Amino acid sequence: MGMDVNTQLSRAGTDSVSASLALLDELPQLSTAVSQLFEALSDDDIDRHRLAGIIDQCPSLAAKLVGLANSAYFSRTSRINGVSDAIFVIGFRTVRSLATATALQEPFANHRCPAFQPGRFWLHAVLTGHVARELAKKSSHRPSLNPDEAFLSGLLHGIGLMALAHLFPEDLNRVLEQAGQQPGALSEQIQQTFGATHHIVGAALLKRWHLPELFSCTTEHYASQDYHGACWRICRLVALAHDWADRVIHQDTGTPFDPRSLNLLGIEPEDGEAVSISCLEQLDTLTGLAELISGEKPQFCNPHVVADAAVELKDRLVDTIESLSSLSALTEIDIQERSEKGVLRGALKVLMANQDMQRCSIFLVEGDELLNAAGLSWSEQNTKHAEKPPAPVVTHRFRVGEGLIGLAAQTGEMQHCRDCTADPRFKATQTDKDAGLGSIISVPICFQDTTLGVLNISHLQPNIFSEWDERFLYVFCNMLGQLITSNRLLRKMEHEIEQRTLELQVALERAESLSILDGLTGVHNRRYFISNFSTLIEQCARYEHKLALLMIDIDDFKQINDSYGHLEGDRILKAIANILKQCARGADIIARFGGEEFIIALQDTECEGAHQVASRILEQIRRLPCGQGEQQRGITVSIGLSCYTQTFNMPIKTPEQWIQEADDALYRAKRTGKNRISVHVADTPGKNR
């Protein structure tokens, strides 16, 4: 940075907060166990038992690893009690992520800054690291970006904010509350308050912890568009991932990545979109990982946006129904079990039962016409055969503006004809039954600014309806408008729920398929294999079937990625997966067990047959080309085989024991020169080779 960090910070200002940044040396150092852990995680060939011994020195981390292994995500049928077994189930990549984040979380565990939310902080860090790693794999630039370095750079890029929360909880709390959701406001206010950005504080902290310079450099410069130093590519990558994580936490996933930034990093737009989709599909898993690290459930910035919309719609229905329930019999109509015609006829029965009228009808608006949708007379209301179905409604149509009914719809105002014989607005030819009517009131049925229809009531006597009737019918029609709208909205919601349920079922079926397959190679994944291998062991023991297990690891795969790029590495993985599917049978279980490691469970196969399968795999993989032209090279694998020579009195072993035997044989093949098969014969001591 050009000068000592503490000196630079102390020059920023004279107020107490800025000056006290010089107390950066008071931040906790990493424990010896954590330092050993970082060193161990950087060794790609570390044995899981040795790694477990180091993690056991950190009780909190050990407990979290065992808890994650026993979580529903890994579908365990038997409980994991030890760190070594937990590493085996989880895999080194997840262990690396959880261990690194947990180790950095421990020194800062405090709750003195309410506005700083560790759950959301670690969710942002995990999202940034994860998407940075996936984007690094897609970069076509040379030299290629290291995905694991990209992940750790993204995971650590915001560590300075956590340090400030530890040093100055009250001051940072005030800054976080003032910054709100304004883009760029946080960094500026931190600079104004503390005399330095959290990027500088984070870089100083990582240097203090003696982590590789790449991480401190990225932490300090990723937010600067003007930085063009040695680490500029990883800085641009982390900045891209940081912005993506920000949008996800703010529930804005409309634009995955800036095309110009992708182009600068040698990443195709379609690859960027694929990474975004893949990471969003894993959002629940990454959220769970952040919760495990921080000890609290991460909260998105707008956690209830979608839920609030649904609740608002539901509340409007409930409010409508509750308000209607305060009015006598009309509000007792159950719209959930009735069609629109049933609701209208129920409303007319309520009206007829409580008011003095000869007949009432409801006309609904359809385009520029009003159609008679329901009608009820006094004689029909009081018939002795109430169980008989209502007589069909005689279809009457009026154009908007025609007659009293049409005028009510057109003007949105009540039309009261006190004496039909003297009022020119009354159209005597409306129906033959209208002859001799004395009084009619036509009241518009409205909801908000929309006219839904018209309620028409009549009586044989003129001047029968009073001003009180007018006021009552006005309120009645307003309530009826809400009732009709609520019924329609409910029917629409039911239809949408049915559609969404069907869509959800399809999505769940697709997700279930994706959850058991490796996204790159198309074979099963580790979780599926571990879950189903136990069942296979029990079946083979019950029916005295033979069983064999192959553990296959690509030799020098890291050199392939470094020399030819990750795209070529992915092609090799796919090609080897296809060879395994060709050499195995349909009943066998094939899975990608790790980065370049595959595993096959061979049913009803003795040692000799399993060795033949392994030999075919070895031979076909040797024929695979890698690279092009003069740089082309061959591919080899090492295979560890665990098997039985006889099935009677075969001891039942756990999946872990089976895999450990095959794994030991695999490492024996590696040690003795690679490109070969090593066999562990479980029931014949001394024959292991």
- Closest among 127, 174, 179, 181 to 155, alpha carbons compared: 127
**Amino acid found at 551:** M
First-to-last alpha carbon distance for the chain, in angstroms, is: 56
Contact status, residue 8 vs residue 204, Cβ threshold 8 Å? no
The SS3 assignment for 6 reads helix
Burial of 450 (0-12, 13-18, 19+ CB in 10 A): exposed
Return the DSSP state at 15.
Answer: S
**Tokens (6 digits) for 547:** 């069983």
**Tokens (6 digits) for 669:** 């093949």
Q: Are strands 637-643 and 633-634 parallel, antiparallel or unpaired?
A: unpaired
The SS3 assignment for 601 reads strand
Calpha distance 474→261 (Å, rounded): 63
**Amino acid found at 56:** D
The SS3 assignment for 56 reads coil
The yes-or-no answer on residue 596 being catalytic is: yes
Q: Tokens 């020399």 identify what position?
A: 563
User: What is the enclosing helix (H) or strand (E) of 372?
Assistant: strand 369-377
Calpha distance 359→379 (Å, rounded): 9
- Closest among 233, 147, 202 to 24, alpha carbons compared: 202
Contact status, residue 643 vs residue 547, Cβ threshold 8 Å? yes
Q: Which residues pair with 460 in a beta bridge?
A: none
Calpha distance 156→203 (Å, rounded): 9
Contact status, residue 397 vs residue 369, Cβ threshold 8 Å? yes
- Closest among 484, 441, 432, 456 to 362, alpha carbons compared: 456
Q: Which residues pair with 680 in a beta bridge?
A: 642
Calpha distance 567→556 (Å, rounded): 16
For the CA atoms of the chain, what is the radius of gyration? 37
Beta strands, E only, 595-636: 597-603, 625-626, 633-634
Calpha distance 527→514 (Å, rounded): 12
Return the DSSP state at 329.
Answer: G
Calpha distance 19→9 (Å, rounded): 8
Calpha distance 243→257 (Å, rounded): 8
**Tokens (6 digits) for 244:** 């993506």
Burial of 568 (0-12, 13-18, 19+ CB in 10 A): middle
**Tokens (6 digits) for 165:** 């929360």
A 10 A CB-CB count for 399 gives 14
- Please write down the long-range contacts of 291-296, taking CB distance under 8 Å and 24 or more positions apart: 291/119, 292/64, 292/67, 292/68, 292/98, 293/64, 293/98, 293/101, 293/102, 293/105, 293/122, 293/126, 294/105, 294/118, 294/119, 294/121, 294/122, 295/109, 295/118, 295/119, 296/117, 296/118, 296/119
- Closest among 170, 239, 157, 260 to 200, alpha carbons compared: 157
The catalytic residue among 134, 220, 596, 661 is: 596
Calpha distance 65→220 (Å, rounded): 31
Q: Tokens 């009354």 identify what position?
A: 426
**Tokens (6 digits) for 422:** 């003297």
**Tokens (6 digits) for 328:** 């006598």
Catalytic residue positions?
596
